[in-house]
Structure 1
């Protein structure tokens, strides 16, 4: 019971053995988050210090109450953009910053409450509708996008803030002749150092990112540093998150409600998608409900400590996993290190070259592309490839949330299209009385009075067109009066399906025959029982198995036809 309410009690004992790995991963993550916190806060229309507040508070609460061992929460690009779009309609970030910040904190708290409520309502199963192909495509697209957004720091070129994938690529190509080769040398040098350390120096391989960034900084110094255009992260503010109660009011809640719901859903999908994508490699089981609660609590608490909306970060989570993190303790270490850096070492951390960081993130972006699984999807399923491609290219050319929703929507469409066409097999018997599909063996024989069919799939509103058309054609041909449905393959029947079955059964009964069921699962009979449809069809028409059903139906057959029948495929014949 304690572990249910305090999930960190599960992994805390593990951290006693893995704390060194978590420590290194946390330190590496701290270095990565410094420039990101500044950039994301500016995108959200907030002073840079609020990005640091979010990067210190959000990941700690999410780590303690979430389910993923590697997910790192905090400020993200997509969330920052939506925050700005929502709050800027009510306040101006340049002329009314106090009111802007106050509204942002209210928005964060509201979104967190929605997320937490969804977790309590056990709506975590919603993430099951995010298919494997969507995760792979989203991960790959985000990896490419993350890498391309670092190209300005790799080539030393000016790229407009918030530029799209296409704009970045076009800007780099058109201005490639203006490349700052000192900056390029630091970025590529840092990346090569990371690759070499990881591949060839096994004792230090888990420190490869940290070693690469330190040596990259040294390389930048020897190449002339800022004198040759090698830009550093810059001045870091030195303060901790102050406690502040959000300005809740009826007006603010009403005006921010739509934006809060959008942010809540986007944040949850983003966080769980990232957690699941990393789980493909770590083989960890992700609890969607617990992740909802963790994300919700992190944003609720963050709003009281001057932090704005956060979610899972692809970059920092990828770095965290690749740096060797074993438990969520790495996220807590990262937050602690960030506090220490801001208080004691901000003047030193400010010397980190953006190009060195860019080289590392290029490597992280590449590692997020799962070439093995992409190849599997390419070979195995055209539909899954379409879902993967839509999600991947959506991430590159549209917003991340658009890519996710498009991939999810398309995968659901394909799923519904498939379930809307249940397989209906007509069964016959061989000489040894074995029932098989008539199209598999031309030698099987059918009873001239009883049609035996097997339905593989659910009878619900989406599948009724196909199922009802089959029975309508069978009825119109007038070949038989009795139909036995082998129902073991029917997973569920909804209200529309039950209504149709009752109507169809009465229609066949009026002809002097009937529709019968064998082996229908108890779970599939729930609506039939609760809605009274079982009585309308006739309780006596439901049988445990085919043998029992055929024995009972045989007594209802026209014995005059049986006398002249040459098929005689049943034992009763």
Structure 2
């Protein structure tokens, strides 16, 4: 098939190159008509599930539910058009909304609060586009899985606790500027102000959601849970008995509005935008890759970065808050047969149609019912299975510490972006703590069946042996040099012959080589002999540059060879010569000589 190429300003542009950066073009070109029904059904299902989520998540962000619907429209359409995943649904998510609320807590209630919010959405998008353009696709690797488990668990607790006052029908003056802990203190000290009608409706919604999940995962529990209580509101006029309703939602598409820029505002929003941009990308890429394991679609992380960034930049001009890929809606989209990115685009279109024609009915939705949806959602964020796995790996392990510290910081700190930064920093520190331990195995050769040498691994040596194999592994860099030196120093007088096996060393730096030179000198001064085996060509160059070959003698260095164990066997034969196994009274051979002679060709020929 011919590739379409045209000239523009003297530059040859390929349609394939254009499609790479605007994936919707490739989808349009190769779309099959028989897939339209599948995409429409999937989009309708996502819409039914998404509408109550969009409204509820907006409350987490501290804004009117209508902004959640706006975000569910614009972000879904643009994210699907420019992202790389065919099934990913972009829009409001609980974690992003929680981070948004944290970043905006100082500004809510101010006259320019919403302008600041839309500016932050713009900044999040710009940062994500920059990550994609400079190909920082691996930036998400710095956010460990355990940090995310801890963050989502803490976020789940915060989301649930943050909705308790709405569930109880309490109105807290100035709550937008209060932390969750301050809200909880107020609730406990004013528990007598509970509106039992509100509590009953909220609990009804929660029970309906749980029952629907047990009956079928495909049932829109949240939608049913907020629809049924509406009949009770109308029948018993509960709105006149203190039950707060969502209020009027305008029947209009998201209006275009210029983002207000200023250097002061940009500086104030940057920290929160950075944290949201990172977590948003982690969510989107993780979800896309999880679904791609079944669809076998190749996921381009950098393109998804750009797609998410464009979605947020465009959304900022239509009164939307930051968005990301939603795991629940994306999973529903895939399960219900979505075949292309058109399902995501159509889901945004369907939400827009609902907003245009059914918005007047939304005013009857009780706020405690939306609170009930969020409390169930918050509980669902606590991944109990993953937490158990991390704890089983060790309560004081690096992963466990990073998870619990991040979880606690999310709950305690007022600014959640600091909790994210702290979790990432802690993961790196704990990783470096683990990597500064030199990976060493101590092996003693012993005789097995059929004259084979068996290498017995030991933890420590209590008495001197004839031959000790020290197997170095992994990356020997300056951070591990101190530990390497300490462990080698303790072995200086524990053997007559040391075989330093280096075939499993991936890299080594000059600091670690200097540590080995000190060990060689100490062994020689103690009257011992050191042999190096399994030396790869690149490692041999470094050893020669550092003059190690002259320190121990070129005859005591054995290169890594193709034959299995060839280098080790040669080193053992060298050890045989060093121990003078072929000389003198054979009746008084040491155990080491007996073992080596059983497999050594030199023992059979009488020469080395």
Alignment pair present for 1:175 and 2:190: yes
Residue 269 of structure 1 aligns with which residue?
279
**Deviation for aligned residue 1:6:** 4.5
**Deviation for aligned residue 1:369:** 2.2
Q: TM-score, normalised by structure 1?
A: 0.78
1:330-359 Cα shifts (integer Å, max 9, x gaps)? 653443244334433332222211122222
1:115-155 Cα shifts (integer Å, max 9, x gaps)? 22212333222322333322322222222222222222221
**Deviation for aligned residue 1:373:** 2.6
Whole-Å separation in 1 of the counterparts to 2:512 and 2:582: 34
1:503-530 Cα shifts (integer Å, max 9, x gaps)? 76688799999865544567xx48x75x
Whole-Å separation in 1 of the counterparts to 2:454 and 2:384: 44
Whole-Å separation in 2 of the counterparts to 1:495 and 1:65: 47
Calculate the aligned-residue CA RMSD, in Å: 4.3
Whole-Å separation in 1 of the counterparts to 2:483 and 2:176: 52
* Counterparts in 2 of 1:411 and 1:520: CA distance versus 1, 3 Å: farther
Q: Map residues 233-272 of structure 1 onto 2, 5 A cutoff.
A: 233-243=246-256, 252=262, 256=266, 259-260=269-270, 263-272=273-282
Residue 388 of structure 1 aligns with which residue?
403
Residue 133 of structure 2 aligns with which residue?
120
Q: Map residues 50-449 of structure 1 onto 2, 5 A cutoff.
A: 53-66=70-83, 69-70=87-88, 72-74=90-92, 76-82=97-103, 93-94=110-111, 97=112, 108-159=121-172, 160-200=175-215, 202=216, 205-243=218-256, 252=262, 256=266, 259-260=269-270, 263-273=273-283, 276=286, 288-303=301-316, 305-307=317-319, 310-312=322-324, 317-318=327-328, 321=331, 327=338, 331-382=344-395, 383=397, 384-398=399-413, 399-432=415-448, 433-439=452-458, 448=466
* DSSP 3-state at the match of 1:430: strand
* Counterparts in 2 of 1:560 and 1:341: CA distance versus 1, 3 Å: closer
* DSSP 3-state at the match of 2:440: strand
* Counterparts in 2 of 1:333 and 1:174: CA distance versus 1, 3 Å: farther
Residue 551 of structure 1 aligns with which residue?
570
Residue 20 of structure 1 aligns with which residue?
41
Structure 1 residues 550-559 or 123-132, which shifts more? 550-559
Bigger radius of gyration: 2
Structure 1 residues 354-363 or 67-76, which shifts more? 67-76
Alignment pair present for 1:458 and 2:471: no
Whole-Å separation in 1 of the counterparts to 2:509 and 2:353: 59
Residue pair 2:39, 2:337 contacting (<8 A) in 1 also: yes
Whole-Å separation in 2 of the counterparts to 1:219 and 1:287: 49
* DSSP 3-state at the match of 2:48: helix
1:282-324 Cα shifts (integer Å, max 9, x gaps)? 9679764344222222223234x244551337xx654664696
Residue pair 1:505, 1:515 contacting (<8 A) in 2 also: yes
* Counterparts in 2 of 1:288 and 1:137: CA distance versus 1, 3 Å: farther
**Deviation for aligned residue 1:458:** 1.9
**Deviation for aligned residue 1:156:** 1.0
Q: Runs of 5+ in structure 1 lacking a partner?
A: none
Q: TM-score, normalised by structure 2?
A: 0.74
1:475-515 Cα shifts (integer Å, max 9, x gaps)? 5x4955x6433234334334644565577668879999986
* Counterparts in 2 of 1:344 and 1:516: CA distance versus 1, 3 Å: farther
* DSSP 3-state at the match of 1:456: strand
